[in-house]
Every structure is written in C-alpha cells, then in structure tokens.
Structure 1
C-alpha cells in the first residue's frame, strides 16, 4: 500500500485531477441521474466527503494561519515600500475582480438555493449589522459554526497580542499552523476523487451544459488576473520606479510566473524568485526577506478568486451588491487573501469568509468551493503565477525607486536581459 501511495503522489496533482475530471464527465453522460435511477449514483458521495472534509478543516486553518502570521510578522524601514505594494496590489486585485463580476455577472447551479434565498440580506445596513455581530461572536462558537468573520477577528487580536510573547511560544503556533497545513495537503491529495464525484454529480443531474457556466466563470477569473498582471501592476510599478515597467513585468512573468504556473505553489517558487532577483542585481538583504514574505502575504491572484466566486454565489441567490458593499468585499477579500494557505487551492478555502458577508449559508459556500476545485486546474495555476511573479516585480520596483532617489540611473532595458 505504501508503494502504491508513493506512486500516486509522484503523479502531478494537475494530471490526476484532469484524468478524474474527464472520467467523471464521461460517466455523467453515460449514466445520467436526473431521475435518481443511475446505477452508479453512489459516486457522488466522493464529492460530498471531499467537501465535508474541507468544511471541517477550513475554520481552524484560517484561525491558526492568521495567528501565526501576525505573531511572527516583522518589518524594517527598507521593507516599508515593498509591504505597502504587496497590500495595495492585493486590494487593487480584489477591486478589479469585484468590478469585473459586476460587469459580467455569473450564476452557478447549486443545491439548496431556494432555502438560502430566504436568509439573504436586503441591503448594506443589514450586511453591516451581520458583519459586526459576527466579528464579536464567541471564538469557540465561531470555530464550531464556521463564522469566518469571528475567526478572522479573534485570530487578528490573538496574533497581535502574541507579538510580545517569547519566540518559543510563537514557534508553538507556527508549528500548529504548519501541522494543519499538512492535514490540508493530505485532504487535497484526495482532490481527484472528490472532483470525480462532484463532476459526475453535476453532469449526471444537469447535463453536459453545466460546463458552459464553468467556462464563463473561468473566463472572468483568468481575464481579471491577466488585467491585473498586464495593466494594474505595471501602472503601480511605473509610478513607483518612474520608468517603463513592461520589460520588468514581462521578464518576471516569463521566468517566475511560468514556473509557478506549473508548480502551483508560491513557496516552491521561492528559489526561482531568489535566482531572478540575483540576475536583476537586487540587494540580497532585501529580497532575502521580501520574497519569502511575498509568498505569504502578496496574494493578488487569491484576491481575484475570492470575490469572483463569492459574487457568483450572491448572483445565484439573487443578492444585489451596492457600491458600499462592493468596497467592503474588496477590503475583506484583500485581508483574507493575505492569509491564504500555501497549498494548491488554498484561496478556495477562504471563499466562505467572503460569502459570510452576504449571509450566504456555509453549505452553499462550500458548494462554490467545490466548483472552484473543478476549475482549479487552470484557476489555481494562473493565480499562483500572478502571486509569485509579482513578488519579484514589487521587490525590484521598490529597489529601483531607492536607486532613483539616490541619483542612480535606472535603465529598464537591463530588466529584460
């Protein structure tokens, strides 16, 4: 069994997901279950088990990730500009996603929508009231009931308070966070089977047309990420470095983004980014901190995924989103994206946090997470490519800004060598 398990893990997760996705779709066409008479209807339970495992681990994952990140956070003066770019870039990404979702609204086929519609908030006042009450909810109840706003609030408070603790105490929370992340990786390793069940259930009960809405959703997600990478971020870099940003942007996308697309892990791409920074002749003392930090908090791709998926759920339930609510969602998505797990599909586990802003039940939100894993082969790859490439972009832009202030010449042509 151990040999089989090792061989299973040696196969790329992307390849495993693709194979089981195709098999699930084929079986869904051959054995339709629209009337509940399919002889293999039990396959759908694999999807339910997978979503159930995610529902169980997501609250505690968010809680300890936030605590560990804040307890161990540190920054000096040289890092100030880079951190500001990380945070602002993540917020801009979320704002782009919200605007795109308003321009191109997507609706999903989910179960239990009728019951959920009755609980939908009517406007910004009710949204704010729900938000504030969830923030001050009992932390134990928040964990038990998957109240992500309460989890995030208490995680922030405890994380900030622990900054004064001893290094040994901080290490305990870091180790707990790492252990939970390991459990998530174990669950994600079974994603092909879960997606197999989810795809079979979706196709067998709704027909092959179900992939049309998935394609539209994926188009909005990837379109937003391309816009952020090729328009929004270059504008930021141009303003900071005061020069043509595209040689740097294109080189980072080519040498860092392309690798990250296939590894689907910002952490795994850290050595690649370090090497690229060295090629760009950046300060090792700076990028030695900024690149690992960026792999943790610079999550523009995740900030696109979270609001697009949450607004798809809101559109499905007929919830109207006004401008104040959209701004709140952008901020919430940016903050939660900074705590996204470092494993494949980690940002998807934070979708319920954004959905809770609209009072969307956790059962509905986790179905959206399941949809995210179905399209995750492309979505997560593009997301990681954007996240990782921008780590180098922002680090370089900050250093070139300092060079310009010191009167040194910055030649953008050297960025593309």
Structure 2
C-alpha cells in the first residue's frame, strides 16, 4: 500500500495503535465524566467498531484457514499439536488457580430473585452435543451466526480438498485471503474511535455503582485472572522458550488484551490477534489455524469464572468442598470452558452444570448466573482479555520454541 499524501493522516498512522487506543480510553472516560449525554451518543462509534470486527472475523477465519491449508507445502511443520497442549494446560491451570483463590479468600453471595431466561445445558453430554452439531452446521449459516467451530470444520475440510486443486485455484484462494486481510487492517485502524465510544457509553449508562455489593467477589475473580496472566502463563511460556517470558507476555497483554477487554469478544478480537502474530513474525500457516482455534477452546478466563462463582454459591449455602471434589471441579470447569463458545450465553450459563456437582438446584444456580450478569461489565471484559491475549501468547511461545519465527522478529520479542 502506498503512503497517504495527507500529512495529518501520515502523522496519525505514525503513532502506534496501542498509544492511540490509550488516548481513546482516556478521552472516553473524560467525556463520560464531563458530558454523560454526549457519551451515550458516542457509544454508537463503539457499537459500529464491534459490529465491524464481528462481521469480518468469521470470513477472515474461513478464508485464512482454507488458504493456509490449501497452500501448505508438504513437510513444512505447523506445530499445532504443541499449541493445543498449551491451550489445555493453561485452561486446566486457570481452573486450579481459581479453586485455590476461592479457598484462600472465600466469598458469599446475596442471591437475587431475578434470574436469566436463558436455559443452561443439562450436563456435559449436552455441551458435547451442541459442539457436535456446531461442527456439522451449514457453512453459510456458520459464517452468518459466528459459529467458529463450524467455520473451522468447513475451512479445514476445504483447505485439504484444495490441496489437490490446480495451482491457479490455490492462488485465487490465497488472493481472497489477502483481500480480506486488507479489509481487516482497515477496520482495526478504527480501534481508537471504537474504544472511545465503548468506554464513554459504558461509563455513562451503567457506571460501576452496581458492582459495589460484589466487590470481594470481583477481587477474587480479577485476582485469579491477574495471577494467571502474570504468574502461571509466564511459567508455562518459560517452560517452552527457556528465557525471560515477560517481554512476550506484556506485548500480548498490551496489544491484544486491551482491545479484547473493551470488545468483550474473543471472536471479534481474532483480527487483532492475527495482525499481532504477523508483527511478531510467526509462521502464517501456524497462527491462521491456532488463533481461531484458541478463540474457540482456549478459555482460561471462562474456567476461572465458572469455578469462582460455583464455589461462591457453595460457600453461601454452607457446603464444604473437599479436595477430591475441588479437583473434579477443576477438570469439569476446564472441559466446560472449552465448550463455552458452543453454548448460548458463554461461560455464565455453564455455572449450573458446575453447581450440580454440589447438589445445588437449578433455580439457585440460575440466580448465581444473574449475579454473573450484574458483574459482567468487569468480569466478562477481564475474562476475554485473558482468553484472547493467551491465544497469541501460547502460539508465539510454541513457534519460538520450535524456531518457527523470523530471526529478526525473535530478537525483538
């Protein structure tokens, strides 16, 4: 792409995207404080930005995975299996951290009378059934509804099928992927305006007054997520790359976690993560598959939410949790978290399934879900930031460990 001729546009593009987003964040806070009415109107910018990301993300995943597999050279490693191992290890570790945090800092809930109208899954079998039906979804419907499991299934199938196509066909698929990627880059350039609108609208309409009654619960949730982000994840990355992990950890949190915190959607943050992987010099054949896969199954933040809220319900009802049950809860929360994207309502609607371990009735469990929705303005944002930034972190760690990264980019990391 040629450089813009307008000096103002050139000056704007020279400022780093993260710096622009921070300016948008500060401006949104100031507008919500000084002129709440205008801030509500400014939320339109945030809604447009998130809608743009959600619109382009399914198409991007579909064409990138298809093109990556179709043009993959035989014998060239992609290291997907080690990344899947890191995803599973991170999610299980997050659930274990949540159990320990809940034992050290037990919390109770004031259960509310109103509950969500949404219907939770009745068991692990229901979650797996939903995932299986998502895989065999119509490809057009999968793209329209943002069913990333179905999108991945069709993209992988077509990618392998196109390996036997004529070179001109594979080139066309690659050109389509490049075109969609260019559109994504344009959408991402509007992130500062989108964050400005999201922050201004959120603070002006809801604020944080509703969260005061759940301050301790939020502290446990956020503390567990911060511990995962700054202690457990770096340990996992160090195990892979055998050197100081924090430059990579902080880069992923800064450039992926910030946008994910405000968009509150791992799917919407896929284009941001793709662009970050490109800047880190990772191999495209690897990250074009691992990033959308991570947005589907790498759910450490969701595992923390399910575990902490379930144990808070158990504490409220005076249920004693022994060590074997805590271990079982960790495993169940990790499995449920991986299936959260296949269930309407995400991680919160899987809380009744975890509560069933302790014999907590569905009515009471749905009241816990309602509490989750009340604190969702912070909980869901932090959960998504952890989930999405970890997708890039584990992909980069595996690529570095296997030498699947540009030499100059590795020195920068």
Place the TM-score, normalised by the shorter chain, in its bin.
0.5 to 0.7
Distance 1:226 1:409, change over 3 A: same
1:349, 1:174 → 2: CA distance?
26
1:339, 1:357 → 2: CA distance?
18
Partner of 1:390: 390
Q: Is the CA contact (8 Å cut-off) linking 1:273 and 1:291 kept in structure 2? A: yes
1:294, 1:105 → 2: CA distance?
31
Deviation at 1:144, TM superposition (A): 9.0
Distance 1:211 1:92, change over 3 A: same
Partner of 1:92: 93
Unaligned runs of 5+ in 1: 1-6, 14-73, 113-142, 164-168, 183-198, 200-207
Partner of 1:127: none
Decide which of 159, 167, 170 is 2:136's aligned counterpart.
170
Distance 1:8 1:347, change over 3 A: farther
Deviation at 1:317, TM superposition (A): 0.9
Q: Is the CA contact (8 Å cut-off) linking 1:403 and 1:410 kept in structure 2? A: no
TM-score, normalisation: structure 2: 0.61
User: Structure 2 matches for 1:358-373, cutoff 5 A?
Assistant: 358-373=358-373
Decide which of 120, 126, 130 is 1:151's aligned counterpart.
126
Distance 1:226 1:388, change over 3 A: same
Partner of 1:272: 272
Q: Is the CA contact (8 Å cut-off) linking 1:253 and 1:389 kept in structure 2? A: yes
Alignment partner of 1:319 is 2:319: yes
List per-residue Cα deviations over 1:93-117 (Å, max 9, x = no partner).
00000110011111111268xxxxx
List per-residue Cα deviations over 1:316-356 (Å, max 9, x = no partner).
11111111000100010000101113899621111111111
2:292, 2:43 → 1: CA distance?
26
Partner of 2:103: 102
2:91, 2:218 → 1: CA distance?
20
Distance 1:381 1:321, change over 3 A: same
In structure 2, the residue corresponding to 1:319 is in which secondary structure? coil
Q: Is the CA contact (8 Å cut-off) linking 1:355 and 1:365 kept in structure 2? A: yes
Partner of 2:400: 400
C-alpha root-mean-square deviation of aligned residues, in Å? 3.5
Q: Is the CA contact (8 Å cut-off) linking 1:94 and 1:331 kept in structure 2? A: yes
2:338, 2:124 → 1: CA distance?
15
Partner of 1:414: 412
TM-score, normalisation: structure 1: 0.60
Q: Is the CA contact (8 Å cut-off) linking 1:265 and 1:344 kept in structure 2? A: no
2:284, 2:410 → 1: CA distance?
20
User: Structure 2 matches for 1:115-126, cutoff 5 A?
Assistant: none
Partner of 2:22: none
1:235, 1:309 → 2: CA distance?
26
In structure 2, the residue corresponding to 1:357 is in which secondary structure? helix
List per-residue Cα deviations over 1:54-108 (Å, max 9, x = no partner).
xxxxxxxxxxxxxxxxxxxx9x972000000001100000000011001111111
Partner of 2:79: 78
List per-residue Cα deviations over 1:144-175 (Å, max 9, x = no partner).
9952244236557xx3xx89xxxxx8234994
In structure 1, the residue corresponding to 2:402 is in which secondary structure? helix
Distance 1:77 1:256, change over 3 A: closer
1:315, 1:89 → 2: CA distance?
26
Q: Is the CA contact (8 Å cut-off) linking 1:277 and 1:396 kept in structure 2? A: yes
2:374, 2:312 → 1: CA distance?
15
Alignment partner of 1:227 is 2:227: yes
1:170, 1:260 → 2: CA distance?
28
In structure 1, the residue corresponding to 2:318 is in which secondary structure? coil
Q: Is the CA contact (8 Å cut-off) linking 2:128 and 2:339 kept in structure 1? A: no
Q: Is the CA contact (8 Å cut-off) linking 1:265 and 1:342 kept in structure 2? A: no
Distance 1:150 1:104, change over 3 A: same
Partner of 2:335: 335
Q: Is the CA contact (8 Å cut-off) linking 1:101 and 1:311 kept in structure 2? A: yes
Unaligned runs of 5+ in 2: 1-40, 48-68, 70-76, 149-205
Distance 1:380 1:343, change over 3 A: farther
Q: Is the CA contact (8 Å cut-off) linking 2:111 and 2:371 kept in structure 1? A: no
Q: Is the CA contact (8 Å cut-off) linking 1:300 and 1:387 kept in structure 2? A: yes
In structure 2, the residue corresponding to 1:321 is in which secondary structure? coil
2:120, 2:251 → 1: CA distance?
45
Which has the higher mean CA deviation after the structures are superposed, 88-97 or 147-156?
A: 147-156
